[in-house]
Chains A and B, each alone.
Chain A
Amino acid sequence: DAGVTQSPTHLIKTRGQQVTLRCSPKSGHDTVSWYQQALGQGPQFIFQYYEEEERQRGNFPDRFSGHQFPNYSSELNVNALLLGDSALYLCASSRTTGGPANEKLFFGSGTQLSVL
Chain B
Amino acid sequence: QKEVEQDPGPLSVPEGAIVSLNCTYSNSAFQYFMWYRQYSRKGPELLMYTYSSGNKEDGRFTAQVDKSSKYISLFIRDSQPSDSATYLCAMTGGSTLGRLYFGRGTQLTVWP
Contacts and interface: CB of A to CB of B under 8 A. Distances in A.
Interface stretch (B58-66, B68-76, B77-85, B88-96): B88-96
Given A42-B88, A42-B103, A45-B100, A100 B32 contact: yes
A95 to B, nearest CB: 9
A90 B43 contact: yes
A81 to B, nearest CB: 21
Interface size class of B (residues with CB under 8 A): 20 to 34
B7 interface: no
Interface residues of A, number: 31
Contacts of B88: 42-43
Contacts of B53: none
Interface of B: 4, 6, 8, 31-32, 34, 36, 41-46, 49, 51, 88, 90, 92, 94-105
